[in-house]
Amino acid sequence: MTQPRISTAFDSGAVDVVSLADQRDIQLNIRPDNAAEFAQWFHFRLQGCAGLPVTMRFLNAGQSAYPKGWEGYRAVASYDRQHWFRVPTSFDGKEMKVTMTPMAQSVYLAYFEPYSHERHLDLIGFANEHDNVEVQCLGQTLDGRDMELLVIGEPAEGKRKVWLIARQHPGETMAEWFVEGFLERILDGDDPVSRKLLEQCVFYVVPNMNPDGAARGNLRTNAAGANLNREWQSPTMERSPEVFLVRQKMLEVGVDLCLDAHGDENLPYNFVAGCEGNPGYTARIEALEEAFKAAWLATSPDFQTEYGYERDAKGEANLTLATNWVGQEFDCLAYTIEMPFKDNANLPDEEYGWSGERSKKLGAGVLLPVLAVVGKLR
């Protein structure tokens, strides 16, 4: 019987080890964010168990931020950190159990396919190579990382300003995979949809709103414990510089359409959440929302509108959320986009579930509903 080893000393690494005495009963606790109580993200390396039956018990799964997120959920594993696949997982309401027989001496496990800061910097580098992209650094986060904005297209009178922000909640890594797919398509000079859009708009893209929380392995908060999607009414440089800097830029250049990419722990679907509860919500905005959803439904079998969040009652919107604050401040179409940590129940994939690659495809596909509404945003 070998002595298993677990490490987390890498980008977004996070789990607490309770017992490693026997690989048939490895006991773990999901670690809370560094300065907040939210606990759901895990990412660790297991070594020393090649060919042996391994059981990993997450003892505190029932006290995580979203316990229902473990119902119908399967953890992801990878030997090379590039290719991730789902592994047998069960949840009894208290503990989550993951079982596998590793094929190699080293295997990684995570809540969802990670998106590292190095890959983030490579994505910025990819964009930087395009003549129609300006990479802007808006300022620094609390841990000193750059807040990066990509301005895509030539600003000109009459062009619409379309914003895409992502990963306010750092554990929702599918959001940055979504942006990677979006960028690869909008920067493809041979793509007719991208060419048509760039004639009509300039894109302002923030691939990662929360680089500190991402590197720290947080689910939902930044280095100061702030849930950035509750900071949009009154952000500060001391607590939420990420929001302060992006919001300041939005106020400087304006917003005609805003998309905020997230992941949802519970619902096995892709869906959107709008601004119906805003005091300034109008029939015009509602019509734009319906046109956007209709175009996405018509062009992507991975999108649906049957399942999603409860609609906010009129005038009851929480204006500390990005989508609501932006929609209200700029009287514009603003959508939260949610992808699943589990799978798309309408089109399940037994081996991978929802994945980075499928998030990329969805991000590339969102250009079509944007094209459907870009001519009527004002």
Binding site for ligand GEM (CB under 6 A): 169, 229, 262, 264, 273, 309, 312, 321, 336, 338
How far is the C-alpha of 157 from the C-alpha of 196, rounded, in Å? 17
Query: Annotated catalytic residue: which of 113, 180, 231, 338?
Result: 338
Token look-up 């709103």 returns 209
Which of 169, 185 has the CB closer to ligand GEM?
Answer: 169
Q: To the nearest whole angstrom, how small is the minimum distance from the Cβ of residue 59 to ligand GEM?
A: 25
Which of 229, 359 has the CB closer to ligand GEM?
Answer: 229
How many other CB atoms sit within 10 Å of the CB of residue 304?
A: 19
Which of 80, 309 has the CB closer to ligand GEM?
Answer: 309
28 binds, among Zn ion, ligand GEM, none (CB under 5 to 8 A by kind): none
338 is catalytic: yes
Contacts of 271 by beta carbon, 8 Å cutoff, 6+ apart: 264, 303, 304, 305, 307, 308, 309, 338
- Of 32, 90, 86, 85, the C-alpha closest to 57 is 90
Residue 134's Cβ-count burial label (10 Å; 0-12, 13-18, 19+) is middle
Q: To the nearest whole angstrom, how small is the minimum distance from the Cβ of residue 4 to ligand GEM?
A: 34
How many other CB atoms sit within 10 Å of the CB of residue 88?
A: 11
Q: What angle do CA 62, 65, 70 make, to 5 degrees?
A: 50
Which of 29, 221 has the CB closer to Zn ion?
Answer: 221
Q: Please answer whether residues 220 and 33 qualify as being in contact, where contact means their C-beta atoms are separated by less than 8 angstroms.
A: yes
Binding mask 170-209 for Zn ion (x = CB under 5 A): --x-------------------------------------
Q: To the nearest whole angstrom, how small is the minimum distance from the Cβ of residue 246 to ligand GEM?
A: 15
212 binds, among ligand GEM, Zn ion, none (CB under 5 to 8 A by kind): none
How far is the C-alpha of 274 from the C-alpha of 291, rounded, in Å? 13
Which of 127, 261 has the CB closer to Zn ion?
Answer: 261
Q: To the nearest whole angstrom, how small is the minimum distance from the Cβ of residue 221 to Zn ion?
A: 11
Per the document, the length of the chain is 378
336 binds, among ligand GEM, Zn ion, none (CB under 5 to 8 A by kind): ligand GEM
Q: Which of residues 224-263 bind Zn ion (CB under 5 A)?
A: 262
> 326-351 burial by CB neighbour count: b if 16+ within 10 A, else e?
bbbbbbbbbbbbbbbbbbbeeeeeee
16 binds, among ligand GEM, Zn ion, none (CB under 5 to 8 A by kind): none
Q: Which of residues 111-170 bind Zn ion (CB under 5 A)?
A: 169
- Comparing every residue's Cβ against ligand GEM, the nearest one is 262
302 binds, among ligand GEM, Zn ion, none (CB under 5 to 8 A by kind): none
How far is the C-alpha of 68 from the C-alpha of 62, rounded, in Å? 8
How far is the C-alpha of 90 from the C-alpha of 107, rounded, in Å? 19
Q: To the nearest whole angstrom, how small is the minimum distance from the Cβ of residue 340 to ligand GEM?
A: 11
In this structure, what token pair is assigned to residue 328?
A: 């209200």
Q: To the nearest whole angstrom, how small is the minimum distance from the Cβ of residue 91 to ligand GEM?
A: 20
Which of 102, 114 has the CB closer to ligand GEM?
Answer: 114
How far is the C-alpha of 256 from the C-alpha of 158, rounded, in Å? 11
264 binds, among Zn ion, ligand GEM, none (CB under 5 to 8 A by kind): ligand GEM
List of residues contacting Zn ion (CB under 5 A): 169, 172, 262
Residues noted as catalytic: 338
